[in-house]
Structure 1
């Protein structure tokens, strides 16, 4: 067998091109076999062994390609070592192949490290408080640094020079790099400020009208923040805009447990008047007004008694008004409403009269922050107030409509 091998080798040496071609073919075949063995046998064996453990049953870990990417290094190492023994190859070809394989190995390792970092971010997001301190932006910064170092090492490997030579030239390129990576640096600073100051979190409801963003934050990355608007559209906002531009974060409302109602009823000012005894007696039917009317009646009697002779004239006395009684009724109604948060500010106040009527503002908080429930509670409150308003002799102000003009037309008809 040995003599036959030597005879074959001696015969191939007579044909150097054929010898080189066969040697290259055997090298490539060996690299392919090694790649097949590593991926089909070794890697699969590792995955099957891991499936018997709790780690291997995790879909995120089982679907990661870190091990498969590292397996690509094996054929590259075989090509790097084997190309040197191929006979009759020019030295330049050997150097080029080795340099390309070295660059490929560096790229593979960089991709594997980036895969590990993404895996770390995925596992971190499973923590219940991960949305409070997202690390995705930092992961992306580390990934960029790794790719930058890998690019320098790859270029150094391809040109067969020391990477220190390339690094020494980066000082002169600092200004250019600052210009190129300006957005990245600004986004990095913004991400650090957002994280340290707890400005926004994943899940926060934010509102930025200048960018038509009004919805929930679904992702915070290095360069962008994604907001899912309430119409299910996605608005992508540069991270640095959350530092430079004003925006509203509704997290405080969501954490407080109550959502504010601030709305006014516009009353017709001509319907405001003093109540006579009959009207006061009719208002005593309201359970919520018993205490108010008794207290107010005693207060007015004490006041009017001090007027002596001047108290005989009604214009000098204090009397109960329908709008004051209605304001007291609204406040007591809100105090007894189980859907209104009683430990937060509750006001029923008059605002300055306007051309559209006298605003009676209701300022309170619901005991829920859910949007649909909040709107339902608010609507129920104003449904009741609008319906009960005529009982107090008050009217809601509204501009005349076409129907009002048609009703007015017969009374304005003049006969010749």
Structure 2
């Protein structure tokens, strides 16, 4: 090799070319030859590796090897051998130009660091894509962990590259970095906060990809589609995308609807306000009229029998309806709604079903329905709830009750 690297030089000198010109021409020809060899080797190895991976992927049952090709792992690995060839022969090409040799070698070593980072990133992206296809990892913030690793890898790579360029030993360079660590922490403050937040979110299982969350502070109301180191992306129900800082998940309050999604029903909790002066005790004629309502006929017969026996036993003077025990139209109405809800086909009978009376307000007496629909899908849930309250609102007049409405005022001009 010693003779070969000066073969062109010797030929040019013997041909009458000056020594300086011969040295430059010798270096230039060798450089062109080396670049040509590197290009050819890189092309051949790249084609062979991609072809081999493609053939293997066709025979393999797993999609991991397909993801390796998609993320350009074979292409990046193919550059390693041409790089080694360059590092091996650069000293021979620039044998007579030491300063050029030093600069090119440093450049190749920096490129080697970059190539290592590219290969690592390709492999990690492949691993990320593969894990996301597995059910147990599908909702985990894998992007965050890979981003953290790559940040430290790039930081180490940059420091290594600077150490190579400046000829400062790596350990000495890293030790010197301690003096500017405060600046580094300040620059990467959001990244550090995001990293800590993503770990806490994962460990505490606060949010998963696919969860429906409501974050009023950021105007987010929809499904989580991505969790990474810095941000959480939420696709709202109007198909807009809201981006939330990851650390906001542990510093602010938000609502995760996963508990409802994983349960056996979606809660219905809504009240109607009854006008209080329409509430009354029931007379015999009232009870006779209400007995035509099939859902509460048996209840009225049973309750009225018990009430009559009590009043008779205690010699209650029923000339005044207030005396003794009585049924009220609001009480019978509550029982009717309770029975109606219990017989509704869309209500989960294994979960709480309750029709309750809330504290009276200036806007009437609230009668609240508390139950769970079996169908948790938003559109169906809204339909079920509307169907129930359509019926309830239409039932109110049958019990001589009135819905409270704020009085409408008219002004004349």
Q: Which residue of 2 aligns with 1:53?
A: 59
The CA deviation at 1:302 is 3.3
Does the alignment pair 1:43 with 2:41? no
Selected match of 1:130 from 137, 148, 170: 137
Unaligned runs of 5+ in 2: none
Give SS of 1:314's match: coil
Task: Point out the more displaced range, 45-54 or 296-305.
Answer: 45-54
TM-score, normalization by structure 2: 0.90
Selected match of 1:219 from 222, 226, 243: 226
Give SS of 1:171's match: helix
The CA deviation at 1:8 is 6.2
Selected match of 1:334 from 334, 341, 352: 341
CA offsets, 1:341-361, max 9 Å, x none?
Answer: 122222112222223222111
Does the alignment pair 1:146 with 2:147? no
CA offsets, 1:169-218, max 9 Å, x none?
Answer: 12222222222222222211111111111111111111110110111111
Does the alignment pair 1:286 with 2:293? yes
Give SS of 2:265's match: coil
The CA deviation at 1:269 is 2.1
- The CA distance in 1 between the partners of 2:391 and 2:316, in whole Å, is 43
CA RMSD of aligned residues (A): 2.4
- The CA distance in 2 between the partners of 1:349 and 1:221, in whole Å, is 45
The CA deviation at 1:312 is 4.7
Q: Which residue of 1 aligns with 2:12?
A: 12
Selected match of 1:170 from 154, 157, 177: 177
Selected match of 2:406 from 399, 402, 412: 399
- The CA distance in 2 between the partners of 1:54 and 1:393, in whole Å, is 74
CA contact (8 A) 1:107 1:150 kept: yes
Does the alignment pair 1:381 with 2:388? yes
TM-score, normalization by structure 1: 0.89
Mapping of residues 330-369 of structure 1, within 5 Å: 330-369=337-376
- The CA distance in 1 between the partners of 2:310 and 2:147, in whole Å, is 74
The CA deviation at 1:21 is 2.3
The CA deviation at 1:291 is 2.6
Cα separation, partners in 2 of 1:313 and 1:36, compared to 1, 3 Å: closer
Q: Which residue of 1 aligns with 2:41?
A: 34
Give SS of 1:362's match: strand
Cα separation, partners in 2 of 1:217 and 1:6, compared to 1, 3 Å: closer
Cα separation, partners in 2 of 1:59 and 1:51, compared to 1, 3 Å: closer
CA offsets, 1:199-253, max 9 Å, x none?
Answer: 1111111111011011111111111111111111111111111111011111111
Cα separation, partners in 2 of 1:44 and 1:262, compared to 1, 3 Å: closer
Selected match of 2:272 from 265, 271, 278: 265
Does the alignment pair 1:106 with 2:113? yes
The CA deviation at 1:379 is 0.6
CA offsets, 1:301-331, max 9 Å, x none?
Answer: 2332244264554332332221111111001
CA contact (8 A) 1:27 1:79 kept: yes
Unaligned runs of 5+ in 1: 410-416
CA offsets, 1:103-124, max 9 Å, x none?
Answer: 1011101111111011111111
The CA deviation at 1:11 is 2.9
Q: Which residue of 2 aligns with 1:413?
A: none
Q: Which residue of 2 aligns with 1:298?
A: 305
- How many aligned residue pairs are there? 400
